[in-house]
Structure 1
Amino acid sequence: MLDNIGPQGDATGMRARVQAFGGFLTNMVLPNIGAFIAWGILTALVIPTGWLPNENLATIVGPAIDYLLPLLLGYTGGKMIGGKRGAVMGAIATFGLIVGADIPMFIGAMIMGPLGGWVIKKFDDSVKGKIPAGFEMIVNNFSLGILGFLLMIFSFLVTGPAIQFANNLVASGIHVLIDTGLLPLLSLINEPAKVLFLNNAIDQGIYYPLGMQIAAEAGRSIYFTVASNPGPGLGLLLAYTFFGTKKARRTAPGAIIIHFFGGIHELYFPYVLMNPVTIVGMIGGAMSGIATFQLFDVGLVAGPSPGSIFAYLALTPRGNYLGIISGVLVATVVTFLITSFILKLTVTAAEGDEDDYEKSLEKSKSMKAEGKKVLESKNDTISAENISKIAFACDAGAGSSALGATTFRKKLQKNNLEDIEVEHYNIEDVPEDADIIVVHKNLADRARRSHQNKRIVTIENYIGDQNLERLLDELK
């Protein structure tokens, strides 16, 4: 595969690397989301300002956020790099951080966990095939113990204090935005980054760790809401439902259900990319939502994952429901009004283009049917006979890719092609036995970097995308 060159290629490559970094963070956090939610529910219930204050049970809150959650992150991060031995190494390294710092070490765990896994993996690779017979167990145990000891001391003396300093610096900067009432300005960064599929890097890498620190003391944090509010996405999709092109009006209502109630925000990203000016509506809605949350002085007890309205309500502490619901509604209305205005100015020309596109598409389908026998003689033609597995891939492997895989699997079953396996994965974990990889076009460069020899089908919309229809036609 030829890499892109020049400024545009560099920018594309950088975006792919940042996306991959966000995906790595997500894959570290996602398996442990249940533990974070358990802590959030405990906090919402038993702290002095909770629903059922209990002084005895409240003693669990502090140790859970200081020890349990960082250790889970470190263990998972180490396992992702170095397997079971990497997981143990990651936990050992993370423990040094925990004791060496005065704040919950989520960011530190997401650094030292993978580092611990990498260290033990490199050691194991270096001694592979060189250990005398009968000494395997002693070498394995002592290597893990000695290297773990050194990394634990290093994290206690160096990494922990350094991360705490950096964390305090970032937190201070955001606190200044809060104190000056400028926190909504973060939307100028958040919203464009999200539609470029950098949402996980923002939430998992910045806002959620900071939010957990504040929630441990105050029982809630506004940081959990600054990038996860489902209101702007709902407003955008509603505007497309009423004022979008014909194709958008057909697909937006289904996207609303999956986005707002299912929490898969990736569903609205293609609609912004379809008309980039609508990012103005997203920014305006997100800013107004944050301002409303600030006005009511509300927050959530943990990070909503997925970011659905159900998750928002489940993680809202007592006395915060009016402010949280208001923030979501205000963001929805503001985004809807701005986006509707933009669409009214641009939709006429776009709809004409779409009509021409639909005619061209029908013509191409007709031509394709006429030349089907010729196409089937080519070596690169695919069919149900030589395709056994299709992989839908996304950043986390659990949201939009799961939706796409389920929808496409049902279409295959309707066409008696149920023998073709369709599964969903995060991009880096697509197995080698996958014949075709389906990703959003903004993740294509990242997919090609990880799977250079695979056929990659790019899509723009997870519901009714034309490339998926073409793929189905080929398989039929």
Structure 2
Amino acid sequence: MIMPNIPALIAWGIFTAFFIDVGWTPVAALSTIVGPMIHYLLPILIAYTGGHIVYQVRGGVVAAIATFGVIAGSDYLIAQYNLTQPADNQLGQIHMFIGAMIMAPIAGYSMKWLDKLWENKIKAGFEMLVNMFSAGIWGFALAILGFYPIAWLVNGLMNILSAAVNWLVSAHLLPLTSILIEPAKVFFLNNAVNHGVLTPLGLEQATGPAHKSILFLLEANPGPGVGLLLAFTIFGIGAAKASAPGAAVIQFIGGIHEVYFPFALMKPTLIIALILGGMTGVTTNVIFNTGLRAPAAPGSIIAVIAQTYQTDYLGVILSVILSAAVTFIVAAIILRASRKKDLAAEAAGSDAFSSAISQTEANKGKSSEALAGLRGSAAGAAAGATDVAERTVNSIVFACDAGMGSSAMGASVLRNKIKKAGIDGVTVVNKAIANLDGSADLVITQNQLTERAKAQAPDAVHVSVDNFMNSPKYDEVVDLVRSQHQDGQ
């Protein structure tokens, strides 16, 4: 629900960076966009996306209606509370990100279930009438549900979480959050932690007088991840050492943190290095009182710098550097201490890195938006090789659920191989499965997504793979494409 709407968060961050009263170029008129955008547009976009995932446009529309009820209910509850409080103790708005994430699946699944009750039972000519009124009436009912119990629940939850964060800040214990956040990231709870908890809380702070929040940096700091990958680059062995440099670039510049998860999982003691690095970064930001204007998504150093509050560049950059350095040093010590044992295990045929990739995929689960790590779409499978040979391939599409992390990495790897092979005229791009439009000659997907891709692009050749970074099928695909293009010259 969150990932497809990151562009809207980025746009909101740009508006705040330039046009609010403490922005780079304050413009009072344009600054009026900031409040409605974060309070109404973004939660409703999230709700529509979630409802659409469950039940296409119909689910999205009902989810948006229901979420507006939650927003209005939250505002009403806060207004009633503020009437009982003095002017210097007024509550601000709570932005219903969590409310949208609750209501969207409720609305989508319930509308889908209701439609099945009268499926094939409507007299001809009345279908549109029933469809429109049923969705409208059910949206109305869910908006009432959102206005009362859901708004009360979410407001209470946000107040509890805000109080907990404020206590951690006042007690100077915020760095201890890394003890929970860094392991949670490795076990693929990064988006749940960041967008489910830290982003809503951070937005509450960023829309307040400070116009920034340190919470946006607790999970998004790319320092610990790149420190771990650099340690593997120098002190690692085998496939992990070979994969680490490219993964470091993807993680640090591209912001795809999941590429370092298998490296930590193959040697769980390395999570200690990540925790210590994360704590170093948080401590640095606490000391310098630094923060971001808006979420840094994806967690790229570019996104972090772009969202840094204008007076906080020194502290934020130092937090990234120092967290990377601490993680690197601790990880290097761990890797060096176990080097002989790791070399012996590799010589005996153990493939810890491949097993860690599999574990990362298992942690991700089928329902995840995208696996932006070392599993995902890849280029080539024996089952698809014959089909490729019988069809001239000029367009290759890597497709995954969201069309972002995993498919982008696969496309990049294959694109580089095709370029090195001197093959011209072949495009390699990445898309979400839902955006496949039939123009591709070859579609490459992860095994469990192939059937969905076939339904979306039935005329294309479909190739199913599972090993993203180290697939031996890359070279087979390159050879086939080279052969086709040489024969056509």
User: TM tier, shorter chain?
Assistant: 0.7 to 0.9
Partner of 1:385 in structure 2? 386
Closer, same or farther in 2 for the Cα pair 1:382/1:140, shift >3 Å? Answer: closer
Name the CA distance, whole Å, in 2 between partners of 1:261 and 1:73.
Answer: 26
Deviation at 1:283, TM superposition (A): 0.7
Contact 1:281 1:339 in 2 (8 A): yes
Alignment partners' CA distance in 2, 1:409 and 1:348: 37
Correspondence 1:153 to 2:144: yes
Confirm or deny that 1:132 pairs with 2:105.
no
Distance of aligned partners of 1:261 and 1:279 in 2 relative to their CA distance in 1, 3 Å threshold = same
Count of residue pairs the alignment pairs up: 413
Whole-Å separation in 1 of the counterparts to 2:175 and 2:187: 20
Counterpart of 2:181 in 1: which secondary structure?
Answer: helix
Which stretch of the first structure deviates more once superposed, 72-81 or 385-394?
Answer: 385-394
Q: Any conservation in 2 of the 1:71–1:109 contact (CA below 8 Å)? A: yes
RMSD: 3.5
Describe how 1:318-397 pairs up with structure 2 within 5 A.
Answer: 318-355=310-347, 357=349, 382=383, 384-386=385-387, 396-397=402-403
Look up the match of 1:11.
Answer: none
- Residue 62 of structure 1 corresponds to 35
SS in 2 for 1:48: coil
Q: Counterparts in 2 of 1:27-38, with a 5 A limit?
A: 28-38=1-11
Give the letter for the 1:225 counterpart.
L
How many Å separate the matches in 2 of 1:260 and 1:333?
A: 14
Q: Equivalent residues in 2 for 1:253-272 (5 A)?
A: 253-272=245-264
CA contact (8 A) 1:267 1:400 kept: no
Q: 1:132 to 1:358 in 2, by over 3 A?
A: closer
Match of 2:459 in 1: none
> Conserved in 1, the CA contact under 8 Å of 2:398 and 2:443?
no
Please give the alpha-carbon distance, in whole angstroms, between the structure 2 residues aligned to 1:236 and 1:84.
42
Q: Which amino acid aligns with 2:32?
A: T
- Structure 2 residue runs of 5 or longer lacking an equivalent are 76-93, 352-380, 454-461, 481-489
Please give the alpha-carbon distance, in whole angstroms, between the structure 2 residues aligned to 1:172 and 1:447: 42
TM-score (norm 2): 0.75
Letter in structure 1 aligned against 2:287: L
Q: Deviation of residue 357 (structure 1)?
A: 4.2
Equivalent positions of 1:404-419 (< 5 A) are 404-408=410-414, 411=417, 414=421
Pair 227,394 (structure 1): closer, same or farther in 2 beyond 3 Å: farther
Amino acid at match of 1:251: S
Is 2:51 the partner of 1:78?
yes
Query: Are residue 290 (structure 1) and residue 282 (structure 2) matched?
Result: yes
1:177 to 162, 168, 185: 168
CA displacement 1:40-64 (0-9 Å, x = unmatched): 1111222222222233332222111
Query: Given that residues 44 and 219 in structure 1 are in contact (C-alpha distance below 8 angstroms), is that contact kept between their aligned partners in structure 2?
Result: no
Residue type of the partner of 1:170? L
Q: In 2, distance between residues paired with 1:282 and 1:396?
A: 27
Q: 1:240 — aligned with what? A: 232
The 3-state SS of whatever aligns with 1:384 is helix
The match for 1:194 among 185, 189, 214 is 185
CA–CA distance in 2 between the matches of 1:336 and 1:426? 37
- Judged with a 3 Å threshold, the aligned counterparts in structure 2 of structure 1 residues 284 and 393 are, in CA distance, closer, same or farther, namely farther
> CA offset at residue 94 of structure 1?
0.8
Q: What secondary structure, in the 3-state scheme, does the structure 2 residue paired with 1:263 have?
A: coil
In structure 2, relative to structure 1, the CA distance for the partners of 1:420 and 1:35 (3 Å cut) is closer
Which residue matches 1:215? 206
Q: How much does 1:263 deviate?
A: 1.0
Aligned CA distance change for structure 1 residues 251 and 381 (closer, same or farther; 3 Å) = closer
- Secondary structure at the aligned position of 1:56 is classed as helix
CA gap 1:434/1:144 in 2 versus in 1, 3 angstroms? farther
| 1:362 aligned partner | none
- Distance in 1, matches of 2:131 and 2:238, equals 63
Taking structure 1 as reference, are residues 424 and 406 closer, same or farther at Cα in structure 2, changes over 3 Å only?
farther
Q: Which of 17, 24, 37 matches 1:51?
A: 24
Per the TM alignment, residue 31 of structure 1 is displaced from its structure 2 partner at its CA by: 1.9
Q: Structure 1's 421 and 295: CA in aligned 2 closer, same or farther, altered over 3 A? A: closer
Alpha-carbon separation, structure 2, partners of 1:100 and 1:227: 30
Q: Quote the offset at 1:144 in angstroms.
A: 1.6
On the 8 A contact 2:384/2:463 being kept in 1, the answer is no
Pick from 253, 273, 297 the counterpart of residue 281 of structure 1.
Answer: 273
1:358-396 per-residue CA deviation (whole Å, 9 max, x = no partner) reads 99xxxxxxxxxxxxxxxxxxxx96351157999967785
Q: Could you say if the C-alpha distance between residues 191 and 318 of structure 1 is closer, same or farther in structure 2, counting changes exceeding 3 Å?
A: same
Task: Say which is worse superposed, 92-101 or 395-404, in terms of deviation.
Answer: 395-404
- The answer on whether the counterparts of 2:4 and 2:402 sit within 8 Å (CA) in structure 1 is no
One-letter amino acid of the structure 1 residue matched with residue 193 of structure 2: I
In 2, Cα distance between the equivalents of 1:64 and 1:471? 44
- 2:96 pairs, out of 89, 105, 118, with 105
Contact 1:232–1:331, Cα closer than 8 Å, also in 2: yes
Establish whether residue 251 from structure 1 lines up as the match of residue 237 from structure 2.
Answer: no
- The worse-fitting range, judged by mean Cα deviation, of 123-132 and 318-327 is 123-132
Residue number among 181, 194, 199 corresponding to 1:203 in the alignment: 194
Partner of 2:221, secondary structure, is: coil
Question: 1:160 Cα deviation (Å)?
Answer: 0.7
Q: Residue 404 of structure 2 is aligned with which of 398, 401, 406?
A: 398
Distance 2:286 2:301 in 1: 19
Q: Cα distance, 1:447 vs. partner?
A: 7.8
**Residues 447 and 352 of structure 1, relative CA distance in 2, 3 Å threshold:** farther
Of 158-167 and 386-395, the range deviating more from structure 2: 386-395
Give, in angstroms, the shift of residue 152 of structure 1.
0.9
State TM-score, norm by structure 1.
0.77
How much identity, in percent, do the aligned residues show?
44
3-state SS of paired residue (1:51): coil
Q: How does 1:423-438 map to 2 (within 5 A)?
A: 437-438=445-446
Which ranges in structure 1 are unaligned for 5 or more consecutive residues? 1-27, 360-379, 440-445
SS at match of 1:385: helix
Structure 1 residue identity aligned to 2:215: Y
